[in-house]
Amino acid sequence: MTLVRIALVAAALVLGWLILRAMGLADFFASFARIGADPWGLVSLVDLYLGFAILAVIIATVERRLPALVWIVGLFVLGNLLGAVWFAWRLPMLFQKLKA
């Protein structure tokens, strides 16, 4: 389990680096406008946000109200960077609950 947690944090760090790099190279809204205009780009965005919504339900069932709200809002802003960090943090507890 420790290796999975390390891999999740490493993936979040790589994603964070890619986000910072993209911020310096392209306009966020113009890029998303191009993606949203393409049919497969739109499918990808809907798929991405559906994944955020599914993870938000999991977070809401595990966390107390205010922490859940903070994590979920952050998830829809920073995306899977926050999702990976949350899973790395909560993975031991989730395994314990799944065993029960």
Q: What whole-number distance in Å separates Cα of residue 59 and Cα of residue 67? A: 9
Q: ∠22-13-38 over CA atoms, to 5°?
A: 40
pLDDT, position 1: 85
Confidence band, pLDDT 50/70/90 cuts, at residue 7: very high
Q: What whole-number distance in Å separates Cα of residue 57 and Cα of residue 45? A: 19
pLDDT, position 23: 94
Whether 98 shows a pLDDT value over 80: the answer reads yes
In the chain, where are the structural domains located? 2-99
pLDDT, position 59: 97
User: pLDDT averaged over the chain?
Assistant: 95
Task: Give residues with Cβ within 8 angstroms of 59, minimum separation 6.
Answer: 68, 71, 72, 75, 86
Q: What tokens appear for 45 in the block?
A: 């965005």
Whether 100 shows a pLDDT value over 80: the answer reads no
Asked if 75 and 83 touch (Cβ cutoff 8 Å), the reply is: yes
